Amino acid sequence: MELTKEQLQTLRDYKTKMDDDNIRFKEIIKKTLIEDPLIIYLLNNKELEESDADPSEYIGVNILSNYLIHPT
């Protein structure tokens, strides 16, 4: 599948201006999670706590960008 120049530009624009509601809501949730010290504490990641990690380092480790549903 080949993307048009307009489609590629739209994807590039998402980095700076989030027109899509889903992207905007995810950014709000992510910002809320990493700015709350109680949430970071409750994540209880000893490795990141001991290394005095920045809250943004929890993204991709404890704060995931998708849902994980246990296979049943």
Average pLDDT, the chain: 85
Q: What is the pLDDT of residues 21-37, one digit of tens each?
A: 777 788 888 899 999 99
| CB contact at 8 A, 26 and 65 | yes
| CB contact at 8 A, 41 and 62 | no
pTM score of the predicted model: 0.59
DSSP 11: H
Select the more confidently predicted residue: 14 or 30: 30
Q: In this model, does residue 54 exceed pLDDT 80?
A: yes
